[in-house]
């Protein structure tokens, strides 16, 4: 995506791990990964194993807020797959706004670079 078209700034937390769940038609598959960056509208994750090439469902991320250890669940829909192991997720409408706020606040405190992309 063209950086000038982003609606929200992205932040890169350091070493924030997440357990993921993929829901297929026949089963639920666990997979782990590391958060690459996050914004108010989505999250990019680097998975330990590649996703199925044709997987396009929702992914549930389970992680703990870095500063408090409080567990949080994030549900996202795959919007972009930059590589086999990376996927960019857009938060779903059922995602609680308060949980995104808590996660962003924690990630900003962990971030090496505060603002990665200028917003208009």
One of 3.10.50.40, 3.40.190.10, 2.30.110.10, 2.40.10.220 is the CATH number of 6-110, namely 2.40.10.220
Per-residue pLDDT of 56-108, as tens digits, reads: 778 888 888 777 777 888 888 888 888 889 999 888 876 656 567 767 676 66
Q: Give, rounded to a whole angstrom, the gap between the first and last alpha carbons of the chain.
A: 15
Q: Name the burial class of residue 38, with classes exposed (0-12), middle (13-18) and buried (19+) by CB atoms within 10 angstroms of its CB.
A: buried
- pTM of the complete model: 0.70
Tell me how far the alpha carbon of residue 115 is from its chain's centroid: 17
What single string gives the DSSP state of each residue in 6-59? -SS--B--SS-EEEEEEE-SS-EEEEEEEEEEE-SSEEEEEESSPPPTT--SEE
Q: State the DSSP code for 5.
A: G
Listed by start position, the domains of the chain span 6-110
């Amino acid at each position: 995506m063209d950086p000038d078209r982003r609606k929200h700034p992205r932040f890169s937390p350091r070493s924030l791990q997440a357990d993921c769940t993929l829901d297929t038609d026949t089963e639920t598959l666990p997979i782990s990964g590391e958060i690459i960056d996050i914004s108010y509208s989505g999250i990019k994750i680097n998975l330990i194993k590649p996703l199925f090439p044709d997987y396009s469902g929702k992914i549930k991320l389970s992680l703990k807020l870095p500063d408090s250890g409080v567990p949080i669940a994030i549900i996202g829909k795959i919007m972009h797959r930059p590589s086999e192991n990376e996927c960019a997720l857009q938060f779903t409408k059922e995602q609680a706004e308060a949980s995104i706020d808590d996660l962003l606040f924690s990630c900003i405190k962990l971030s090496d670079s505060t603002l990665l992309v200028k917003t208009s």
